[in-house]
Structures are given as structure tokens and as C-alpha cells.
Amino acid sequence: MAKLVSRVVWDHEARGSNPLAPTRMSNKVKAETITKDNERSEVEIDKRDLVFSVHVYAVAMRDGKILISPQWKDSGYDFPGGRVDLGENHIAALVREVKEETGYNIKPTKIIEVFTSLFKHPKRDKPYHSILIYYAAEIESGEISTDGFDKHEMEYAKEARFVTFEEMRKMELMSNQRVIEPIHEYLREQFDTGKQDKL
């Protein structure tokens, strides 16, 4: 079994440079707002209004290309994945979400990165306090399909596809921007070690 290693990154400055420092005695926190055009701004919200959630995402490759979920606009994308339901195992949630969004059955192998993110979803006008977990994953079976899309995904998501590393770098990640660097680092490692054919 692969060893699971993670780093934790905070998306806001409420705790300064030390994420383990005591939280300030305030009900106000800063969150990122994201529009469907990927325009971003910062807003102050009452933390008592935050909805807590855990999201899991897969970074999977085949033949030197990365599996993405195109979203919102022609150049927009995210990695396939989504929210863990109450009472659901997080690995089961990842497998389910990837199947729904792409049609593929995957097997997570290791954690690439873990983030804490405060944001307002462009579709659901609510502020979220989310734990975002990005897994490396292997594609085991299946084929690209949109059959698993729910009614919300049918409005903003498109059929999954594979892109090269260079193609992905020219696109716009529609969710957490801080994941770009660690995922690029992971992808380069895959190519440098010969686990994938080319960048």
C-alpha cells in the first residue's frame, strides 16, 4: 500500500504565519468569492454563517495526459471530485464523485495536498469552510460519460477529457488556485521518474 503523506496549507490569514496559533477572538473571517467567469475577490463574512464541508479530488493520468473536468467556460477546468456526504467514507466519496463526473473507476494511491479554504460557491450563494484533499489516482476501468451528472453539474460542467500538461497550464483552474503548484510538482515528478511518457 502506498504511503499517504500530506501537507496542510491555509487559504486565509486569520492565523498569521503560524497555522497552529490560537484563533483570534473574532467572528469575522476573510473568504474568497469566485464567479462563474473565475473572477476572484475577498469578502469579510461572519464565521457563524460558514457551512463546513470536506471535498476530495483526483489527479489521474493516462498515456501522459491528465484527466480534467471542464467547467463554466471553454478554458475552465477542475479536477474530478466533490463533496463527502454525511456518513460517507472519504475514499468512497472520491471514487463515487469521479465516476459521476467522468465515467471512470479509479483507485486513490496517495495524498498530494490538503488545503483549508474559505470561499463562496458561484452556484450556491453560501460561504463554505472546506477541507480540500487532492489524491493521486489510477484509472482502473470505465469510459468517459456524463451519465452521472446531477442537475447542477448539467448546468456548468462538460464531458471529462484528457489534456497534456502544457494544455492544462494554459487553462483556468476554477477552484482553489493554491493547488496548482503542488500538483504541477507532482506531475513533473511522474514524468521525471518515467512513470509517464512525456510532459
Rounded Cα distance between 132 and 149, Å, is: 21
- CA-wise closest residue to 130 among 49, 50, 42, 34: 50
Rounded Cα distance between 57 and 95, Å, is: 9
Task: Please state, rounded to an integer, the average pLDDT across all residues of the chain.
Answer: 79
Confidence of residue 1 (pLDDT cuts 50, 70, 90): very low
Domain parsing of the chain, residue ranges: 27-192
User: What would the pLDDT profile of 51-86 be if each residue is shown by its tens digit?
Assistant: 999 999 999 999 999 999 888 777 788 899 999 999
Residue 75's contacts (CB-CB under 8 Å, 6 or more residues apart) are: 170, 171, 172
Model pTM above 0.85: no
Q: In this predicted model, which residue has the larger pLDDT, 50 or 177?
A: 50
- Superfamily for the 27-192 domain: Nucleoside Triphosphate Pyrophosphohydrolase (3.90.79.10)
Q: What residue has cell string 489534456? A: 163
Residue 91: DSSP 8-state: H
